[in-house]
Structure 1
Amino acid sequence: MIGMFDSGLGGLSVWRELARQLPHESVIYLADRAWCPYGPRSHGEIEARSTRVVEWLLAQGATSIVIACNTATSAAAAKLRRHYPGLPIIGMEPAIKPAALASRSGHIAVLATRATLSGEKLQRLAAHYHEHVRITFLPGDGFVEQVEAGELDSPQTRNTVKQALADLADSDVDQIVLGCTHYPFLAPLLASAWPQAELIDPAGAVCRQIRRQLETHHLGSPLAQQASYRFVSTAEHTGMQDFIARVLDIETEVEPLTLA
């Protein structure tokens, strides 16, 4: 079983792609909505909380971990891999490389939370490509909150997206990297607000990495196996249940969890 977590609903964009690419793999998905968003919290807080979440997922029978959150990946992945040697732990990787390779104008944008944008991992990756492309960094202020509220196309959400992309005015950006797993749920609004750019969602590449890790560690399920899915939330769970039904078209129960 794959254990997957995010601060909230955003990681469901990764789960959606995983269910498409690996329909035989069972997943337990934990939305840590009691701590959402992770972004404003300190590195140490996110690291400690992620460790607690992974402990719980392993106790439920998870044999691999997917950190479906850019902020948690940046803050906690390295420590988790040291703490659990041999355990496949797959995190999010900002898709700067494919955006740089695909750009015709030589100008790309990275749209992410402020915590991710200021993180060492993203800045180090961006520095590697600065010689090849110009990179504009855009904070997606308010994006996570709008997705968590289930407002994917409200007037407020459209205005939030418009404000986030205001710095692109008169630019030649032709690739926008979605650096937060919540953001693919706002892709239609983003595409409408800046139609000249291709949106780069790293979920596909992450799921291919999950497949490779499962094969390497001999943890993959038989292709004929029927996958099972559990969804768990550490805070308000009925809204998550409604979101899954409305956005992912799946009728399921979300289990409430108190995680100290």
Structure 2
Amino acid sequence: MSATPSPSQPIALYDSGVGGLSVLRAAQAALPHEHLLYFGDQANVPYGSRSLEELRAIAEASARFLLSQGAKLIVIACNTASAAALKHLRAVFPDLPFVGMEPAVKPAAEQSHTRKVGVLATPSTFHGELYASVVERFAKDVEIFQSTCPGLVKQIEKARLNTPKTRRILEEAVLPMLDAGADTLVMGCTHYPFVIPLIEKIAAGRARVIDPSPAVARQTARVLAERSLLNPSLEPGSLRFITSAEPAAFEYALSRLLGLSAQAEAASWQGSELKLIPKN
């Protein structure tokens, strides 16, 4: 990384797949003049059941790749990777600003009237130090209900947001929480905001749903401002998409999830390194 990145360089957003597009959507709204580079590591999705060592190695290689593509800041738009690797990445790349995902337990605890909160996240997020520390700091007096929503990430990767299977997964996760008195639900995985409309139908007014993506976009803006890295241009920022799997599948999900028609580039894992595949 160069010692002084240019404000015109892109913000990179990194996720295991298409879940981080929920963060990209929020970043585009909050920072419309910034160039955004999105990398979905779909060759390795889902991250939720991988070991800590695996996740750190994958995240470090992904960060090196995004640096090679000119990133001035990296948003780890993945709760699992943030929980496993954010501290590690900041140690390995001390001059590069990172913004990570943190389960929105604090605002949930503040907003809950019943003092009962439901959290939907992956096993790795629940087992990580970050989640435990957030609960310890901000939700000591709150009863927390947890669900890993098995199979939900795969449904969202395929843009199956409102199918009977997706609804069944969510009902099995959410209804017991609601029946136990939870009045606030936290999306602890960046994939999950895409099914908030379905969750709200299932909850039928019994709970509010917290999407952390807008707060992450605001934090990104603050970090850029602190480092004088906000893009001064008044032109709309560009969007660039890279996947480590099949671009056509990513493009389909992109069109279904965000309504965007865009071409994705391909990168491949070559040993422990990511390499951009040249366009034909």
Shorter-chain TM-score tier: over 0.9
Q: CA deviation at 1:191?
A: 1.0
Give me the whole-angstrom Cα distance separating, in 2, the residues matched to 1:239 and 1:186: 19
Instruction: Report 1:188-203 matches (<5 A).
Output: 188-195=197-204, 196-203=206-213
The one-letter code sitting in structure 2 at the alignment partner of 1:58 is L
Q: CA deviation at 1:225?
A: 3.0
Structure 2 residue runs of 5 or longer lacking an equivalent are 1-9, 271-280
* Paired residues of 2:84 and 2:124 also in contact (CA < 8 A): no
Which of 81, 85, 88 is matched with 1:72 structurally? 81
Partner of 2:244: 234
Which of 205, 213, 221 is matched with 2:231 structurally? 221
Which of 154, 158, 163 is matched with 1:154 structurally? 163
Give me the whole-angstrom Cα distance separating, in 2, the residues matched to 1:120 and 1:93: 11
Partner of 2:54: 45
Partner of 2:36: 27
* Paired residues of 2:122 and 2:148 also in contact (CA < 8 A): yes
Instruction: Report 1:103-118 matches (<5 A).
Output: 103-118=112-127
* Paired residues of 2:103 and 2:131 also in contact (CA < 8 A): yes
Give me the whole-angstrom Cα distance separating, in 2, the residues matched to 1:64 and 1:130: 30
The one-letter code sitting in structure 2 at the alignment partner of 1:25 is E
Give me the whole-angstrom Cα distance separating, in 2, the residues matched to 1:45 and 1:174: 36
| Superposition TM-score, scaled by structure 1 size | 0.97
| Superposition TM-score, scaled by structure 2 size | 0.90
Give me the whole-angstrom Cα distance separating, in 2, the residues matched to 1:192 and 1:250: 25
**SS in structure 1 opposite 2:144?**
strand
Q: CA deviation at 1:71?
A: 0.6
Q: CA deviation at 1:227?
A: 0.5
* Paired residues of 1:141 and 1:164 also in contact (CA < 8 A): no
1:170 aligns with 2:179: yes
* Paired residues of 1:24 and 1:221 also in contact (CA < 8 A): yes
Q: CA deviation at 1:171?
A: 1.8
The one-letter code sitting in structure 1 at the alignment partner of 2:124 is A
* Paired residues of 1:4 and 1:68 also in contact (CA < 8 A): yes
* Paired residues of 1:114 and 1:140 also in contact (CA < 8 A): no
Offset from partner CA, 1:160-210 (integer Å, 9 cap, x none): 111122432522211001000000011111111123111101111111110
* Paired residues of 1:3 and 1:29 also in contact (CA < 8 A): yes
* Paired residues of 1:64 and 1:87 also in contact (CA < 8 A): yes
**SS in structure 2 opposite 1:180?**
coil
The one-letter code sitting in structure 1 at the alignment partner of 2:82 is T
The one-letter code sitting in structure 1 at the alignment partner of 2:76 is I
- RMSD between superposed Cα atoms in Å: 1.2
Structure 1 residue runs of 5 or longer lacking an equivalent are none
> Quick check: 19-28 or 133-142, which moved more?
133-142
**SS in structure 1 opposite 2:125?**
helix
Offset from partner CA, 1:121-142 (integer Å, 9 cap, x none): 1012112234332111122211
> Quick check: 168-177 or 89-98, which moved more?
168-177
Name the count of aligned residue pairs. Answer: 260
Q: What fraction of aligned residue pairs are identical, expressed as a percent?
A: 40
1:13 aligns with 2:26: no
1:211 aligns with 2:241: no
1:83 aligns with 2:97: no
